[in-house]
Amino acid sequence: MDRTESDIPDAGKADQASENPFSSMDPEMAANPQPVFKMLRESMPVLPVEGVGVALCRKVDVDAALRRPEIFSSNGYAVDLGNIRPLIPLQIDPPDQKKYRRLLDPIFAPRQVALLEESVTKLVNDLIDEFIDQRTIDFAASFSIPFPSQVFLTLLGLPLEELPKFLTMKDGIIRPEMVTGEPYGSDAMRKYQRSVAASIYTYFDEILDLREQRREDDLLSRLLDAEVEGARLSREEILDICYLFLIAGLDTVTATLDCMFAFLASHPQHRQDLTTDPNLIPGAVEELLRWETPVMGVVRIAMEDTEVAGCPIRKGETVSMLLGSANTDETEFPDADVVRFDREVNRHLAFGGGIHRCLGSNLARLEVRTALREWHRRIPEYSIAEGHTLVYTSGIRSIEHFPMVLSAKL
């Protein structure tokens, strides 16, 4: 993109794109994003991101843009995740996207998801059993990484022994540069990512063959039987949905747990409030999703020349919606900088907004709520290991290494 400063009217313009505090999406920013977001909203609500496009920082603009998919499209150009066809429904525009959502929404509706509560509770407790008598654990390795994948395996009706295979597939797509040690975007990295992608299609294809022969009480059987407008999904469509689930439903929950437990480990009063009154947990989940916003932003492509807050955006430019900034916008949230578990109105965008709003939000809420409830019942006191500074990944704010000291109720 060849945007120059003179293209951007004063209303929302950055003084110097090179001084852009957001451009690098660096780990420091991911560790403590709220002050940077505040500064951006005040000084450059439509932020030029050099060589990429723009980022929208205010809630009103993010909200409005997410509701205009005909102009800000989430089609296949927006993100390359090694997939050979567009991910369904994320990289599909209306009207087809709506057709897919009509078919998928009932599978993830609150009543369906509630049926999983017992098995999710058991998964949490089984994981806690494994480390409750240890003094120090790595929260990520012991809990936040395995838990969402185990839930997903349960949904698929697969044995928990598949976990390592699952994690290899997920990491090979989401962070191939870390697995391979090759620079992001390099040929070697792309080659590895594509080989993992191929193994994912094969993996799900083989299970679908089995379910085709004999249905089980699981997600894939439901996808095979689901119909919309009298038509069933093709095999390719189911594969494209499963591929997205692997990307969208695992790291997001891991990052959410990392962010929430890091916050609670360093805020004793909030932690104690949850321990003494578990009824606060649903409100705490929403408030911590708002404040921490584990998925910092989502990306769209401008389908035509347009403008936001007086700033021109050209057809083809990438538009990042900074969900974390929208969620801490004081014009929408009174006392936006205060974390209040009893906040009454909390229209946060941590699950996105508009037609692509998270399909798995009910499942995600169940997972996080259950984790907070069972954990605080059994481990009321915990802290980040002394002298350790947590390092957050950018984009999706997970914490790769999270040493935690426990004081469990044995």
Q: Where do contacts with ligand HEM occur on this chain (CB under 6 A)? A: 74, 89-90, 101, 244-245, 248-249, 252-253, 256, 294-295, 298, 350-352, 356, 358-360, 363-364
Q: How far is the CB of 296 from ligand HEM (least distance, A)?
A: 9
**Any residues with CB less than 8 A from the CB of 233 and at least 6 apart, and which?**
103, 223, 224, 226, 241
CB of 61 to ligand HEM, least distance (A): 15
Q: Which is nearer to ligand HEM, 53 or 89 (CB)?
A: 89
Residue 176 vs 352, nearer CB to ligand HEM: 352
From CA 407, how far away is CA 410, in angstroms rounded?
A: 9
Entry field: residues in the chain: 410
Specify the pairing of strand 227-228 against strand 136-138. Answer: unpaired
In the complex with ligand HEM, the residue whose CB is nearer, 252 or 325, is 252
Peptide bond between residue 95 and the one before it cis (omega within 30 degrees of 0)? yes
Nearer to ligand HEM, 366 or 406 (CB): 366
- The tokens 């996080």 sit on which residue? 368
| Smallest gap from residue 369 Cβ to ligand HEM (A) | 11
Q: What angle, rounded to 10 degrees, do the helices at 163-174 and 146-156 form?
A: 110
Q: Are 319 and 302 in contact (CB under 8 A)?
A: yes
Nearer to ligand HEM, 274 or 349 (CB): 349
> CB of residue 174 vs ligand HEM: minimum separation in angstroms?
13
List the structure tokens of 409.
Answer: 């109720």
> Which DSSP string corresponds to 8-46?
S-GGG--S-GGG-TTTT--HHHHHSHHHHHHHHHHH-SE
Residue nearest to ligand HEM (CB): 360
**Strand, coil or helix: what is 129?**
helix
Q: Which is nearer to ligand HEM, 137 or 247 (CB)?
A: 247
Q: Closest separation between CB of residue 21 and ligand HEM, Å?
A: 22
Helices (H) and strands (E) in the chain, counts: 18, 12
Smallest CA-to-CA distance from 174 within 250, 76, 236 is with: 250
* Residue 257 Cβ vs ligand HEM, minimum distance, rounded to whole Å: 8
3-state secondary structure of 289: helix
- Closest approach of Cβ 100 to ligand HEM, in Å? 7
Helix axes 251-265, 361-378, angle to 10 degrees: 40
Pick between residue 359 and residue 390 the one whose CB is nearest to ligand HEM: 359
